[in-house]
Chain A
Amino acid sequence: MSTTTDNPSAQPESTGPQNPVLETADQQVAAGIPFERFLDCVHCGLCTSACPTYLETGDENNSPRGRIYLMRAVTEGKIALTEKVSGHLDLCLDCRSCETACPSGVQYGRLIEPFRIGMQQQAVKEGKPKGWFEKYILFGMFPYPARLKLALWPMRVLQKTGLDRLVDKSGITRLLPQKLRRMQNLLPKLPPSSPPLPTFLPAIGEKRARVGLFTGCVSEAMFSPTNQATARVLQQNGCDVYIPRTQQCCGAIHYHGGESKPAVELALANIKAFEEQNLDAIIINVAGCGAMLKDYHHLAEETADLSDADREKLVNFAHQVKDISEFLHELGLLPPTGEIPLRVTYHDACHLVHAQQIRQQPRELLAQIPGLKLVPLPESDICCGAAGSYNLTQPEMADRLGERKLQNIRKVNPQAVLAGNAGCSLQLQATLKAAGYTIPVYHPVDLLDASYRGVMPAK
């Protein structure tokens, strides 16, 4: 053993594992991740069967334990970030089912997300950024409701006139590039283009809270009736509702796609949009966006060049965000009275149940609707394959998981399926439609709203 006296500048000999020095380009992909986070995983394997991609493939490289092992091995320089390795990491849905299953509290999302950002940055450095689809359609269009609305306009006309089925049959859509075709297949029956919500809606009855409503980009374009329903239900429950026009996309599509810079810019714009009103809470009805908004404090930690003031703002904002079901449950729902005699089943959106640990709240709210019968869905908390833009970037696995979900829905034979996330609704509707099922997919808040208004939910 050498002693420090031989060489005064030498480090005293270490007694334990050293964090690896990130030398190669592959290793540097993990630059944003404190190495201790990998060590939290004790390799027990209790998470594997919670993972949808492992359930489908049986390959541990597609399991949480395996992916952590791969990322750690790349970080340690044991293996290169080969195409196959990044393939296993790309196949991850980021559904966080593994976090719910892990008793050791491993923060899987905080490993895979920064790792992917690293992969993206490396790809840019090497001059092979993502393809045209990611660049123009996914990052360029989704986050901007106005652009999305415009682009959806031809679809809306087709659906209105009933020509869409003809078009489907004619096979014209097959001439579209494959990914655009998937998008067309995913589109729900579009609501008639509606005027935007006003910027303020007053509480009905006794005033109980002052809230902001985050309307989301995809959901505002495709699900504006659900946003309207959310606003009405909040009003019914004594909330003043503020809906600032300057709000932006939550940044999830960028962040999960590995683009952290635009994600931070969008986050700061959102904080600005809501900060003047002095709100009790900021309400969101899209689980994916909600999880992202609540994650702004991690964004604050993981982004290097941020001012302290901005960092603090991100953290404070994150604490204000509430999912609609979480908020109503905490506030105490004023019981709706209109009967809705339907047999329904509830699908747990990953970004609600796993990322936000919201499981019971929506079920307990739904139980208060007179006449509604809620039947449990097998594997309700296994991802449906939507996972943000996943169904566009990993079509094969998305279809397999869609099929798995369909088989489970078949087992309970409901009259409607409920989900608290726009992405799940898109995927579920597309899957049901493709299998020739005509049952509708609702957001729980759609049913609450219908019950308050004493009507049946719109098909």
Chain B
Amino acid sequence: MTSSIPLINALSDIVGKDHLLYDAEELLVYECDGYIVEKKCPDVVVFPISTAEIVEIVKTCNRFEVPFVPRGAGTSLAGGCLPVGGGVMIALTRMREIHEVNLRDGYAVVDPGLVNVHLTREVSGDGFHYAPDPSSQGACTIGGNVATNSGGPHTLKYGVTVNHVTGIEVVLPDGTVANWGGPAGMPPGFDLTGLFVGSEGTFGICTKATVRLTRNPAAYRTMLGIFDDIQTATRAISEIIGAGIVPAALELMDQGIIQAVEAAFKFGFPLDAGAVVLIEVDGLEVSVDDEAARIKELCHQVGVREMRTANSEAERLLLWKCRKQAFGAIGRLSPSFCTQDGVVPRTRLPEILQFIEKTSQKYDIRIVNVFHAGDGNIHPILLFDERDQAQIQRVIEAGDEILNKCIELGGSVTGEHGIGVEKINFMPKLFSENDLTVMQEIREVFNPEGNCSPCKMLPTAGACGMEQIERSHPGRQAAL
């Protein structure tokens, strides 16, 4: 172990001896998050309970010149929590208070370790919810959502995390506490809250967040369009969006997924369909029927085979369960799988899907698709058997090829899972050198020593003993 006894003692004085880990056996669990390709144990994990303790921890790390990295629930799929260079991991999982709920003004002030869905649960009795709903919402934390600017199926209509966080308290990498924004939303001056959201822990540690609460819609209509082939399905999606309709969600599942999901949940999907699209509209009771009718008409115009409507809340929830737990069902198709996360402009969806199909044939790797069609966020899932080394290599190459194509089509290599360490090599392809330099300079304003979350997001050649992220294994195995 590289860390010194004095460091452990100093940290123990801050958080108490029951709230830190330093035994190798206990650190092991913290060697990776939802991304299991790269592994590295921190030297110490601390569990602070207050902003004041975090300030002291950060100052102590600086005094001992060790790096530190924040961690929420560890559901990152890009290795955001990897403690590159070791050091201190600051786990925020004991800080899970809801400090204030103000329904009249529609906001709440919460701790960073609060689980996303716990906030919604707290206010659901009053007819409210917290809108950003990543598929991991049952586990991931608000702090982690802030750091990665999480989205979810309802992002299309309601926006991502940055649209729902109006203020934050931050412990900067030098131990200073800053408060930006607040319940009132946009104060004059720089939008530093907006800047911080999505910084993946490289600007400091979020210790409190003021978030919007959204009133539940009065009514929903949840439909399922069944298409003979995936091309017709994507055309229908373009038509819907093109007509100026913004559904609350628009999710596509292709034939492979349909088969897996049907095996798991027995919803009654037709197994010969090329694709199904889950469409949800919400709003006032009077308007949803109108919108639903227009959507059905558009789907019929492009040649949908069949439109179904969920007739009860139970049916609606089952449909959503099929979608949100789709990846759990993939285990039924193949022993191992790797989910990619890319974005293309919506109009290029047919092209990227054709490309994925071709790539699948080229590498002889089966690929199935389930994705947030409304905003062009694709999640091709590459199926393989991890006992076959040759397949693994092909999966890595096929994945990279698809992501490169996304960039070529004017898109990006991550829709919602972040850059972390996993996709750091793609940054120079996404941005010009000047762009990257500006980003680095901004980071240096907050994090001049680079001690906080080193080697994340921005490629800084040779800075921290991890020059290049070598990938001997396909990326993540689970996630949509």
| B73 near A45: Cβ-Cβ < 8 Å | yes
Tell which of A16, A42, A70 touches B478, judged by Cβ atoms closer than 8 Å.
Answer: A42
In the complex, the chain A residue whose C-beta lies closest to that of B45 is: A59
**Majority secondary structure, A binding face:** loop
State in angstroms the CA–CA spacing of A57 and B478 once bound together: 26
Q: Would you list which residues of chain B between 207 and 253 have a CB under 8 Å from chain A?
A: none
Pair A58/B26 contact, Cβ less than 8 Å: no
Residues of chain B with a CB closer than 8 A to A69's CB: 28-29
A44 touches B388 (CB 8 A): no
User: How long is the Cα–Cα vector from A50 to B137 in the complex, in angstroms?
Assistant: 12
Give residues 422-436 of B contacting A (CB, 8 Å). Answer: none
Q: Is there a chain A Cβ closer than 8 Å to B127's Cβ? A: no
A contact residues around B388 at 8 Å (CB): 15-16
A310 at the interface (CB under 8 A from B): no
Chain B, residues 115-130, CB within 8 Å of chain A (1/0): the string is: 1011001000000000
Say if the beta carbon of B21 comes within 8 Å of chain A. yes
Residues of B within 8 A of A15 (CB): 387-390
CA distance A20 to B88 in the complex (A): 31
Q: With an 8 A cutoff between CB atoms, is A103 at the interface?
A: yes
B380 CB to closest chain A CB (Å) equals 17
Query: When the two chains form the complex, which single residue of B47, B75, B328 contacts A105, counting CB atoms closer than 8 Å?
Result: B328
Against B, the Cβ 8 Å flags (1 = close, 0 = not) of A85-98 are 10010000000000
In the bound complex, do residue B138 and residue A101 qualify as a contact, i.e. CB atoms below 8 Å apart? Answer: yes
Question: Do residues B121 and A378 form an inter-chain contact, with CB atoms below 8 A?
Answer: yes
- B25 contacts A70, C-beta separation under 8 Å: yes
From B21, B29, B121, name the one whose CB has the most chain A CB atoms within 10 angstroms.
B29
Contact present for B91 and A103 (CB under 8 Å): no
B478 pairs with A44, CB closer than 8 A = yes
Give bound CA distance, A105 to B136, whole Å.
16
Tell me which of B26, B74, B329, B386 contacts A61 (CB under 8 A): B26
Bound form: Cα–Cα A59–B18 in Å: 11
> CA of A69 to CA of B39 in the docked complex: distance in angstroms?
13
Residues on the B chain within 8 Å of A199, using CB: none
> In this assembly, does A43 line the interface, its C-beta being within 8 Å of a C-beta of chain B?
yes
Across the two chains, which residue of chain A brings its CB closest to B385? A16
B477 at the interface (CB under 8 A from A): yes
Question: How distant is the Cα of A70 from the Cα of B30 in the complex, in angstroms?
Answer: 11
B28 near A48 with CB under 8 A, answer: no
- Chain B nearest Cβ from A56, distance in angstroms: 10
Given that A79-B28, A80-B25, A101-B138 are contacting pairs, would A45 and B75 also be in contact in the complex, using a CB cutoff of 8 Å?
A: yes
A45 & B136 in contact (Cβ 8 Å cutoff): yes
A144 to B254, CA, bound (A): 57
Cross-interface CB contact of B328 among A43, A58, A79, A104, cutoff 8 Å: A104
Interface residues of B (CB under 8 A from A): 21, 23-26, 28-30, 32-34, 36, 47, 73-75, 91, 93-94, 96, 113, 115, 117-118, 121, 136, 138-140, 325, 327-329, 331, 385-390, 477-479
Q: A residues engaging B (CB < 8 A)?
A: 14-17, 40, 42-50, 54, 57-61, 65-66, 69-70, 73, 78-80, 82, 84-85, 88, 101-105, 378
Q: Can you report 26 A-B residue pairs in the complex whose CB atoms are below 8 A from each other?
A: A15-B389, A15-B390, A16-B386, A16-B389, A17-B387, A44-B136, A44-B479, A45-B33, A45-B34, A46-B75, A48-B73, A48-B74, A48-B139, A49-B115, A49-B117, A58-B91, A60-B29, A65-B29, A69-B28, A70-B29, A78-B28, A79-B24, A80-B25, A85-B26, A103-B327, A105-B328
